[in-house]
Structure 1
Amino acid sequence: MGRVTERRRVIRIRDGAVSTRPDTLVAEEPMEIRLGGKPLAITMRTPGDDFALAVGFLVSEGVLASAAELANIVYCAGATGEGGRNSYNVVDVRLADGVPVPDITLERNVYTTSSCGLCGKASLDAVRTTARWPLDISADTPVRIEPATLSALPDRLRAVQRVFERTGGLHAAALFTTDGELLDIREDVGRHNAVDKVVGRALQQGRLPLSSCVLMVSGRASFELVQKAVMAGIPVLAAVSAPSSLAVDLAVETGLTLVGFLRGTSMNVYAGEHRLALSAAASTD
């Protein structure tokens, strides 16, 4: 199976001094996801947690919602690499009997890069119509979180990014409780892959919907990440960087709490402020 990191020789220049040294890089390889033997998507990812990645991707596309709907996942033995060895870069997901198989094309090109994931009108329409767990703000036990708890999450995320510490080249996604307890963290060269791995592991463990969790991501909050949070039933998404306009639109429409620029004690709340335990009413300039 592919490694998470690889070593490469680099020329290092520091204050005019030139030297050579080995450097640790994050691995990036393509992975094809098949559904019932039919090609569905190709993503560039960091090898590891491949089955969780495939399952999480299918959750975000509305195909899976529970472990009972999943029959099995296997690496395709025929996907051989150099020397006839299995490349471990093709995964086939089989649904349980009775689970409907969607349009295999998902109405769009299903090639995804490590930087942006899937996007487009078809994806927006899908999240509007197939979300299994609406983020109901009138629930009997509504999620509430203190701003101080959110403020502590970036440092807690960074502290457990083991591969990032060696490479500086990975995104991370982590699930926390509303009290700030770390539940799971995954790293990947693609921010959307890291989220899929976290969500996929939760489905495999029978923990969906993640209705009492906060999803913390190390980069920006794109439309794709909001979509993935909504499809997994996650009520709060926090990011260290900015959201896109479409991400904010979708968060408002679905009732997601979206927090961006979460750095130290500062943050911007773009949607769903009802879940934050604010001490004073917000003022508008």
Structure 2
Amino acid sequence: MNLADIPLRPGGAELLPVRGVRARQAFDNRDWVAVEVPVALEFNGIAHAVMLATPTDLADFALGFALSEGILLGRGELYGIEEEFAPEGITLKLDVASAAFARLKERRRSMAGRTGCGLCGTESLAHVARALPSLPHGPALSKNAVARGMRELASLQVLQKVTGAVHAAAWCTANGEALLVREDVGRHNALDKLVGALAKSTLDASTGFIAVTSRASFEMVQKTVAAGVPLLAAVSASTSLATTVALDAGLTLAGFVRGDDLVIYTHPWRLNGSPANA
């Protein structure tokens, strides 16, 4: 897919006046700046979280957040999403099944999340770690496929190309083709958007892997496992907690994926080193 063929998603960036110096020459111009707004999530009328996010693919974001946080166990527990716009931000009103709402009340979080903040507002240490589903064995993957997926992710980052200020997450096939890409100023938000898009698609999440443009933190690992994806490839490093969770969950975790280089932290048996069919 060619970058020029992908339209810039409405609401993702705006032209603002800027001044500066390049090559010792002063300039006065307009430039694209990534949009960042408060996005509130309500479940059955109850306020739950406020995140700072890029206001694109909001339905994907709402669904993905609910799934990756364990509020929903499946897409069928979401009955509808209403978007309410106000000068101070956007509210996403989710109508969910009573069972999902009961789970939410048991594991209450009231996050006021800064960009990229994962655990802000968690009420107790018991809420940090939670039971995760068992991951399927998944396909045999190659290091070449992972490298290809990261290259395709970078080439398809439309918003990043014009603003230089956003993260992205992609779901890639076993051969490394990036079929779904989502962007956001927050790395967790980008992954949540991808999880939502993946849940709405006809793709089998377990047959591919996720590539992200950030470090592999604890919550990035948790969200990947919750989505049923057996491998997470990150452009930067893993953390100790992320590595521990990935090891326990059966997730293959790769970091520093840059060109043909990578570091495998957990379950290297999924990466057989054979050439990708690309």
TM superposition score category, shorter chain reference: 0.7 to 0.9
Q: Deviations over 1:92-111 (max 9, x none)?
A: 11113554532448344422
Q: Deviations over 1:60-102 (max 9, x none)?
A: 11121322211111123xx5328xxxx5x00111113554532
Q: Which runs of 5+ in 1 are unaligned?
A: 280-285
Measured after TM superposition, the shift of residue 46 of structure 1 is 0.3
Equivalences for residues 108-147 of structure 1 within 5 A: 108-118=109-119, 121-126=125-130, 129=131, 131=132, 133-137=133-137, 142-147=138-143
**2: CA distance, partners of 1:152 / 1:159:** 11
Residue aligning to 2:231: 236
**1: CA distance, partners of 2:32 / 2:106:** 37
Q: Deviations over 1:169-219 (max 9, x none)?
A: 110000001111222000100111111011112223365x62112000011
Measured after TM superposition, the shift of residue 56 of structure 1 is 0.6
TM-score norm. by structure 2 comes to 0.87
Q: Which runs of 4+ in 1 moved over 6 A?
A: none
Measured after TM superposition, the shift of residue 44 of structure 1 is 0.4
2:168 is paired with a residue whose SS is strand
2:238 is paired with a residue whose SS is coil
Paired letter, 2:80: N
**2: CA distance, partners of 1:228 / 1:107:** 18
2:71 is paired with a residue whose SS is coil
Aligned-residue sequence identity (percent) comes to 35
Q: 1:181 to 1:123 in 2, by over 3 A?
A: farther
When Rg is computed on C-alpha atoms for both structures, the one with the higher figure is: 1
| 1:188 matches 2:184 | yes
Q: 1:210 to 1:123 in 2, by over 3 A?
A: farther
Alpha-carbon contact 2:208-2:229 (below 8 Å) kept: yes
TM-score norm. by structure 1 comes to 0.85
Alpha-carbon contact 1:195-1:225 (below 8 Å) kept: yes
Matched length: 263
Paired letter, 2:13: T
Q: 1:100 to 1:19 in 2, by over 3 A?
A: closer
**2: CA distance, partners of 1:148 / 1:105:** 43
1:101 is paired with a residue whose SS is helix
Paired letter, 2:194: V
Residue aligning to 1:13: 21
| 1:203 matches 2:199 | yes
Alpha-carbon contact 1:40-1:104 (below 8 Å) kept: no
Alpha-carbon contact 2:148-2:177 (below 8 Å) kept: no
Paired letter, 1:241: S
Alpha-carbon contact 1:67-1:206 (below 8 Å) kept: no
Residue aligning to 1:177: 173
Q: Which runs of 5+ in 2 are unaligned?
A: 1-8
Q: CA RMSD in A?
A: 2.2
Alpha-carbon contact 2:32-2:163 (below 8 Å) kept: yes
**2: CA distance, partners of 1:220 / 1:211:** 22
Q: 1:99 to 1:246 in 2, by over 3 A?
A: closer
**1: CA distance, partners of 2:151 / 2:176:** 11
Equivalences for residues 1-285 of structure 1 within 5 A: 3-76=11-84, 80-81=86-87, 89-96=90-97, 99-104=100-105, 106-118=107-119, 121-126=125-130, 129=131, 131=132, 133-137=133-137, 142-205=138-201, 207=203, 210-278=205-273
